C-alpha cells in the first residue's frame, strides 16, 4: 500500500464533501468546509507563533470540534500532535507536559483555566489560543512534502520510574491503520463514529481520523454521560451511531444497559474492542441480544505499534473458547513468538509477542535506554537492518492460526483499558508521608473489573485514607488502588525482590461489630449484594460510603449497570455521587420504583 499522509487523505475528503457534517457535538455541527478553515487557521496560528515541522504541540481542549480541527491543523504543519485530557488530575497533566516539553500548546477557545497550572510545568511552551486560530488567515503557512517516517504524534503511558513514558509515533502508521480499518469495515460517508475515549490515549486517533478520512461524521456525546452506561447507550441508539471503539469494561455495562432498556442499536454496524481481554461470556450475551447483525472486532496492539496490529472478527463459536483470540496481523505486519533466547517457539507453544512492521513508533521520547530495550534488532531475517518491537506480552498460536493473548511479561497491567505500570503506582506510594515501602497487585473479583490493591509499610503511622487521597491527585483514576493495606512486612523472594505472587487482596471483612448497621430491608440487602459483587470486601455497613468501602470510579460503572439490571431503574452518575451509601442509594431506588408504579397506574 503506497504511503499517503493523513492530511492529504482528509483534504481529499473535504474536496468531495464540503457541505457534509464532519463533527457533531452537543453544542455544534461543523461541516467539512468549516473544518478545513479551522484546521488552516490552527496551522497558520502555530506557524506565526514559531512552530514548524517536528515541533511538539500539546492540545488542551474539551471541545471535540476544536480537538478535530487542532489534530488536522497540527498534522498539516508537519508538527507532532500531543493531545491531553483536561479532566486528568492536574499533577498528572503537569508530569506529562514536563516530560513532553512541547514547544507550543493549543488551548481551547474559551481559554480553559485548567490548563494554566499544568502548563507551569512547561514554562518555555508558547501558548496559542484556539480562538485566535479561528480568525487566522488561511493558507499562511509553508506547504511541505510529508515522508512516511516523519514524527506525527506523542502519547504517554505509565513508566516504571514513576514518570510518564512518551511514545513518539510516525506518520506512516496513521495512514496504514486508518485506511486498513476503513477498508475492512467498508466505512463511508454515511458512517457516524462515536468519540468515547480520552484525548490522552492513542485510540483517539482512530476515533477522529477514521470518519474524517471517509467523509463520515465524528459524533461526541455530552461529557457527563461518558461514564453513565445507560445514558451512553441511549445516546448511541438515539444518535444512530455506526461505529464505536471501547474497552471491554465499557462494553459490558453498555450491553447490560441495552438489554434492560430494550435498545436495538439499529444503526450500529461495528463495536471495535481493545485494551483488555474480551471475556467469551460477554460475547455470548451480545450474540444472544443482537445476533450477527453487528460486527464485534477484537483488536490487539500496544501504543508503541500505533493503536492495534492484530484483529479478529468475533464469531459465535468463539464464545465456547477459554478466551477470545486477538487474531491475525494487519497487512505489512508479522507476529513472532519468541523464547527468552530470541528464537521462535514451536507452534502451539507460549512465547513473547514481537511485532515486525515498518509502522512501529519511532522511539520513546527522550528515553534512549528504554527504546533500546523494547525496539530490538531483527536478527531473524538475514541481512535485515530493521527492528522488532518486544511487547512484553505472552501469546500462542491456536490450531487455526489465530493469536491468543495470555498476559504480560512484566508488571504492566490494564485497568479499564488504561495501561498502568505497577512500579509507577508504587513509586507514588513511596512519596506519601509515613510510607517507606509499597507493593501493588492486580485482583480480579469474580466477573467484575480488575482492581488494584496496595500494601504499604510500616503498619503504624500510615493514614491510608490520606494516602489514597494523595494518589487521586497524582495518578489517573484507573491507577488508584481501591484498597490500601498497612503491614509490618511485605513478602520478598530469596533474592530480596518483592514477592507479588505471595500478596493477596484483602480477605472478606469480618463479621460486623456492634457499631455496624447492616441491611434492614429487601432493597438495602439487594444493593448491598451488588456492592459486594464489585468491591474487594463485602459491603456490611449501610452507612459507609462507596469510597470508604474501597470502591473506585470504574467500580461505580459496574454498580450502576447492575442496579439497572436488578431493578430496571436507570440512575445518573450524579445521583450516585450524591447518595454514596447503601442506605441512601436504596432510598433513591425505592423512590424511582414508586414513581414508575405511579406512572403505570395513571396510564391504566
Would you state the pLDDT for residue 104? Answer: 96
CA distances from 510 to 130, 373, 518, 520, 540 (A): 56, 46, 13, 19, 9
Crossing angle of the two packed helices 464-474 and 90-100, in degrees rounded to 10: 50
Q: Is the pLDDT of residue 181 over 90?
A: yes
Torsion angle of alpha carbons 273, 276, 278, 282, nearest 10°?
A: -90
DSSP assignment letter at 162: S
Radius of gyration of the CA atoms of the chain, in A? 24
Helix 229-238 and helix 248-261: axis angle, to 10°? 70
Amino acid 42: pLDDT:
94
Residue in this structure with the C-alpha cell 486517533, named with its chain if needed: 205
Q: Are 116 and 109 in contact (CB under 8 A)?
A: no
Higher pLDDT, residue 578 or 481: 481
The band of 382, judged by pLDDT with boundaries at 50, 70 and 90, is low
335 close to 403: Cβ distance less than 8 angstroms: yes
DSSP H or E stretch at residue 273: strand 270-273
Comparison of pLDDT for 437 and 21, the residue scoring more = 21
Give first-to-last CA distance, the chain, whole Å: 64
Backbone φ/ψ region at 392: left (φ over 0), alpha (ψ -120 to 50), beta: left
601 has pLDDT over 50: no
Domain architecture of the chain: domains with CATH: 1-170+179-201+209-220 (3.40.50.12780), 222-410 (3.40.50.12780), 412-502 (3.30.300.30), 522-597 (1.10.1200.10)
Bond into 458 cis (ω within 30): yes
pLDDT, residue 543, reads: 84
* DSSP 8-state class, residue 507: P
Query: What is the reported pLDDT for 352?
Result: 93
Q: How confident is the model at residue 139 (pLDDT cuts 50, 70, 90)?
A: low
pLDDT at 161: 52
Q: Rounded mean pLDDT of 155-171?
A: 79
Report pLDDT for 495.
40
Give the pLDDT band of residue 159 (cuts 50, 70, 90).
Answer: low
Phi, psi of 588 (to 5 degrees): -65, -45
The Cα 328–Cα 334 span in angstroms is 9
Is the model's pLDDT at 410 over the cut of 80?
no
> Residue 444: pLDDT band by 50, 70, 90 thresholds?
low
pLDDT category at 501 given cuts 50, 70, 90 is low
Q: Give the pLDDT confidence of 515-568 residue by residue, as tens digits.
A: 678 888 888 888 888 888 777 666 568 888 776 676 665 577 778 888 888 888
Model confidence over 59-116: pLDDT tens digits?
Answer: 999 899 999 999 999 999 999 999 998 888 788 888 889 889 999 999 987 656 777 7
8 A C-beta contact, residue 307 and residue 202: yes
474 has a pLDDT exceeding 70? yes
Report which of 316, 298, 333 is spatially closest to residue 177, judged by C-alpha positions: 333
CA distance 94 to 88: 10
Residue 402 has what pLDDT? 93
pLDDT at 494: 42
For residue 510, what pLDDT band results from cuts at 50, 70 and 90? very low
Q: What is the pLDDT of residue 563?
A: 86
Q: Would you place residue 327 in the very low, low, confident or very high pLDDT band (cuts 50, 70, 90)?
A: very high
Phi, psi of 583, rounded to the nearest 5 degrees: -60, -50
Confidence of residue 165 (pLDDT cuts 50, 70, 90): confident
Rounded-to-integer distance, Cα 3 and Cα 30, Å: 28
pLDDT tens, position by position, 234-247:
999 999 999 999 88
Q: What is the pLDDT of residue 216?
A: 97
Asked if 225 and 198 count as a contact pair (C-beta separation under 8 A), the reply is no
Confidence band for 209, pLDDT divided at 50, 70 and 90: very high
- Written as one string, the DSSP assignment of 399-436 is TTS-EEEEEESSSEEEETTEEEEHHHHHHHHHTSTT--
Q: HSE on the CB side for 549, CA within 13 Å? A: 28
How many other C-beta atoms lie within 10 A of the C-beta of residue 386?
Answer: 12
Q: What is the mean pLDDT of the segment spanning 319-324?
A: 87
Cα 527 from chain centroid? 29
Q: Pick 510 or 151 by higher pLDDT.
A: 151
Say yes or no to pLDDT of 603 above 60. no
How far apart (Å, rounded) are the C-alpha atoms in residues 390 and 308?
14
Q: Are 111 and 62 in contact (CB under 8 A)?
A: no
pLDDT digits (tens, 9 = 90+) for 363-378: 999 999 999 999 999 9
Q: Which residue has the higher pLDDT, 547 or 333?
A: 333
Amino acid at each position: 500500500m503506497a504511503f499517503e499522509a493523513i492530511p492529504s487523505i482528509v483534504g481529499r475528503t473535504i474536496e468531495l464533501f464540503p457541505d457534509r457534517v464532519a463533527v457533531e457535538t452537543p453544542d455544534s455541527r461543523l461541516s467539512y468546509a468549516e473544518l478545513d478553515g479551522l484546521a488552516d487557521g490552527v496551522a497558520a496560528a502555530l506557524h506565526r507563533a514559531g512552530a514548524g515541522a517536528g515541533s511538539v504541540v500539546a492540545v488542551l481542549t474539551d471541545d471535540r470540534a476544536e480537538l478535530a480541527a487542532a489534530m488536522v491543523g497540527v498534522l498539516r504543519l508537519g508538527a507532532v500532535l500531543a493531545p491531553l485530557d483536561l479532566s486528568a488530575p492536574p499533577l498528572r497533566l503537569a508530569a506529562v507536559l514536563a516530560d513532553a516539553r512541547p514547544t507550543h500548546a493549543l488551548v481551547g477557545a474559551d481559554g480553559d483555566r485548567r490548563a494554566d497550572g499544568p502548563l507551569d510545568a512547561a514554562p518555555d511552551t508558547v501558548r496559542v489560543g484556539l480562538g485566535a486560530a479561528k480568525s487566522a488567515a488561511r493558507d499562511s503557512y509553508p506547504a511541505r512534502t510529508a515522508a512516511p517516517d516523519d514524527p506525527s504524534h506523542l502519547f504517554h503511558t505509565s513508566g516504571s520510574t514513576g514518570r510518564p513514558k512518551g511514545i513518539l509515533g510516525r506518520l506512516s502508521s496513521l495512514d496504514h491503520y486508518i485506511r486498513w480499518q476503513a477498508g475492512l469495515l467498508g466505512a463511508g460517508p454515511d458512517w457516524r463514529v462515536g468519540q468515547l475515549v480520552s484525548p490522552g490515549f492513542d485510540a483517539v486517533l482512530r476515533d477522529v481520523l477514521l470518519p474524517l478520512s471517509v467523509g463520515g461524521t465524528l459524533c461526541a456525546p455530552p461529557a457527563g454521560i461518558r461514564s453513565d452506561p445507560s445514558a451512553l447507550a441511549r445516546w448511541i441508539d438515539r444518535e444512530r451511531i455506526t461505529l464505536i471503539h471501547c474497552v471491554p469494561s465499557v462494553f459490558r455495562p453498555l450491553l447490560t444497559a441495552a438489554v434492560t432498556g430494550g435498545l436495538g442499536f439499529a444503526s450500529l454496524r461495528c463495536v471495535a474492542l481493545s485494551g483488555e481481554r474480551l471475556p467469551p461470556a460477554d460475547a455470548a450475551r451480545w450474540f444472544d441480544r443482537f445476533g450477527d447483525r453487528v460486527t464485534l472486532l477484537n483488536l490487539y496492539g500496544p501504543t508503541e505499534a500505533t493503536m492495534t496490529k492484530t484483529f479478529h472478527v468475533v464469531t459465535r463459536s468463539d464464545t465456547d473458547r477459554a478466551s477470545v483470540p486477538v487474531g491475525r496481523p494487519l497487512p505489512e505486519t508479522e507476529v513472532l513468538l519468541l523464547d527468552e533466547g530470541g528464537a521462535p517457539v514451536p507452534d502451539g507453544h507460549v512465547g513473547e509477542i514481537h511485532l515486525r512492521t515498518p509502522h512501529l513508533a519511532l522511539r520513546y521520547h527522550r528515553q534512549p535506554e528504554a527504546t533500546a530495550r523494547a525496539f530490538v534488532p531483527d536478527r531473524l531475517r538475514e541481512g535485515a537492518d530493521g527492528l522488532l518491537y518486544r511487547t512484553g506480552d505472552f501469546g500462542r498460536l491456536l490450531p487455526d492460526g489465530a493469536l491468543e493473548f495470555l498476559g504480560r511479561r512484566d508488571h504492566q497491567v490494564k485497568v479499564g483499558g488504561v495501561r498502568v505500570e505497577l512500579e509507577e503506582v508504587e513509586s507514588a506510594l513511596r512519596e506519601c508521608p509515613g510510607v517507606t515501602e509499597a507493593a501493588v497487585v492486580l485482583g480480579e473479583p469474580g466477573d467484575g473489573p480488575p482492581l488494584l490493591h496496595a500494601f504499604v509499610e510500616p503498619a503504624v503511622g500510615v493514614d491510608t485514607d490520606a494516602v489514597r487521597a494523595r494518589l487521586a491527585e497524582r495518578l489517573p483514576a484507573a491507577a488508584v488502588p481501591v484498597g490500601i493495606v498497612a503491614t509490618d512486612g511485605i513478602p520478598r523472594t530469596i533474592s530480596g525482590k518483592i514477592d507479588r505472587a505471595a500478596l493477596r487482596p484483602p480477605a472478606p471483612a469480618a463479621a460486623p461489630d456492634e457499631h455496624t448497621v447492616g441491611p434492614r430491608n429487601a432493597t438495602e440487602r439487594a444493593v448491598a449484594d451488588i456492592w459486594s459483587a464489585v468491591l474487594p470486601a463485602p459491603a456490611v455497613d449501610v452507612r459507609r460510603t462507596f469510597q470508604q468501602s474501597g470502591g473506585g470510579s470504574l467500580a461505580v460503572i459496574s454498580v450502576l449497570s447492575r442496579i439497572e439490571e436488578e431493578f430496571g431503574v436507570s440512575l445518573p452518575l450524579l445521583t450516585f455521587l450524591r447518595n454514596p451509601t447503601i442506605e441512601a442509594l436504596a432510598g433513591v431506588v425505592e423512590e424511582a420504583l414508586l414513581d414508575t408504579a405511579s406512572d403505570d397506574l395513571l396510564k391504566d
